[in-house]
């Protein structure tokens, strides 16, 4: 009975995802109601995405370590260095500057494979960047915090590992269990349903993350407007640079690198910095969701034309 509803979600995924962010703003009570489901929605989106991924492609990336290292080097070190140079030249406020550099140093969002699937990109590459980027984040984050921003982070290994277990290990366990008990042809026949469930999980997250943002917009509209503009500019700039720098991967791979470059997991950065990055970091984490959920609606027609022309 849910199939028509899930098909509708899948068919209008980009528009529905963008609507989720604005629903969270205009319906603050709904955002507060869904807030407890936010972490479950993240786990669900990745678990469902893992069911759709061609693991042979993931293994193939493991056989080409230089490509993977180049991609990770750009996302976790090259991007924050470039961003630091830009915010320094522009003379942006310290709080916003720190948030932007941390955003550029974050791994791809947990939902990156889901977005890649919905946009027709390389979900396997997005997954490799997500998992590997998150795994080595303690090393790269320390370099960014100490050497680039002169911040001292105070968080133990235990809390970080717990975060990784929740957002990365648990979805893998769920998807692997499902694969063992469900036939592959059954899963392939329900691609539309799975995509619809992915969209539903992402919408729940989009609404929930907006909890409290509407009140801040009313209290300090100019700051919120500035943060919003900065978030969109950073997202688009990193996407453009990431796509251009990895054009040698082919259009599909290059666009996936662009997506992974722009769509960053600010939530885990907020936890890892343990409040040391300042109060503006909290605001930016929520604001950064606007381009993540709105850009797919804007870029999907471009992706379709480019990918079709590249065949």
Model confidence pLDDT, tens digit, residues 101-146: 989 989 898 888 888 888 889 888 898 898 888 878 777 776 776 6
Among 58-67, 135-144, 189-198, top mean pLDDT goes to 189-198
Neighbours of 39 (CB within 10 A): 15
Cβ-contact 105, 78 below 8 angstroms: no
Which of the two residues, 309 and 172, has the higher pLDDT score? 172
pLDDT at 226: 94
Largest CA distance in the chain: 56
The span from the CA of 31 to the CA of 29, in Å, is 5
Render the burial of 54-91: b for 16+ CB within 10 Å, e for the rest: eeeebeebeeeeebbebbbebbbbbbbbebbebbeeee
Q: Which pLDDT tens digit goes with each residue over 218-270?
A: 998 999 999 999 999 999 999 999 999 999 999 999 999 999 999 998 877 76
Percent of the chain having pLDDT more than 70?
89
For residues 190 and 158, the model is more confident at: 190
Would you say residue 1 has pLDDT above 60?
no
3-310: CATH number:
1.20.1530.20
Portion of the chain with pLDDT greater than 90, in percent: 26
> pLDDT value at position 222?
92
Query: What is the overall mean pLDDT for the chain?
Result: 84
Residues 6+ positions from 305 with CB-CB distance below 8 Å: none
User: Are the C-beta atoms of residues 12 and 200 closer than 8 Å to each other?
Assistant: no
pLDDT category at 277 given cuts 50, 70, 90 is low
Residue 310 confidence (pLDDT): 66
Look at phi and psi of residue 214 and say left if phi exceeds 0, alpha if psi is from -120 to 50, else beta: alpha
Q: How confident is the model at residue 29 (pLDDT cuts 50, 70, 90)?
A: very high
Distance CA 311, CA 309 (A): 6
pLDDT score for 27: 93
Q: String of b and e for 139-165 (b: at least 16 CB within 10 Å)? A: ebbeebbeebbebebebeeeebeebbe
Specify the higher pLDDT residue, 5 or 152: 5
Is the pLDDT at 210 greater than 80, yes or no? yes
Domain ranges of the chain: 3-310
**141, 153 in Cβ contact below 8 A?**
yes
DSSP class of 107: P
Three-state SS at 109? coil
> Looking at residue 213, what is its pLDDT?
86
Q: Global pTM?
A: 0.81
- The pLDDT assigned to 276 comes to 59
pLDDT beyond 90 at 189: no
């Amino acid at each position: 009975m849910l199939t028509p509803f899930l098909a509708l979600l899948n068919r209008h995924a980009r528009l529905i995802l963008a609507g989720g962010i604005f629903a969270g703003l205009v319906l603050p009570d709904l955002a507060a109601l869904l807030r407890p489901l936010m972490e479950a929605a993240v786990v669900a989106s990745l678990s469902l995405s893992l069911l759709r991924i061609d693991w042979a492609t993931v293994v193939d990336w493991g056989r080409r370590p230089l490509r993977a290292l180049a991609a990770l080097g750009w996302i976790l070190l090259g991007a924050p260095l470039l961003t630091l140079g830009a915010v320094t030249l522009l003379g942006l406020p310290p709080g916003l500057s720190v948030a932007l550099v941390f955003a550029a140093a974050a791994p791809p969002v947990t939902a990156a494979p889901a977005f890649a699937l919905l946009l027709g990109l390389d979900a396997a590459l997005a997954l490799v960047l997500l998992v590997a980027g998150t795994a080595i984040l303690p090393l790269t984050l320390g370099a960014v915090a100490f050497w680039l921003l002169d911040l001292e982070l105070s968080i133990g290994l235990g809390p970080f590992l717990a975060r990784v277990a929740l957002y990365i290990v648990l979805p893998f366990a769920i998807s692997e269990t499902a694969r063992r008990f469900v036939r592959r042809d059954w899963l392939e026949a329900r691609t539309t349903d799975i995509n619809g469930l992915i969209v539903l999980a992402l919408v729940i997250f989009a609404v929930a993350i907006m909890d409290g943002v509407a009140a801040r917009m009313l209290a300090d509209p100019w700051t919120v407007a500035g943060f919003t503009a900065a978030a969109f500019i950073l997202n688009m700039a990193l996407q453009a640079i990431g796509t251009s720098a990895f054009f040698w991967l082919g259009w599909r791979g290059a666009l996936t690198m662009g997506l992974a470059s722009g769509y960053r997991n600010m939530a885990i950065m907020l936890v890892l910095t343990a409040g040391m990055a300042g109060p503006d970091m909290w605001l930016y984490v929520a604001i950064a969701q606007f381009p993540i959920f709105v850009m797919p609606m804007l870029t999907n027609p471009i992706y379709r034309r480019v990918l079709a022309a590249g065949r």
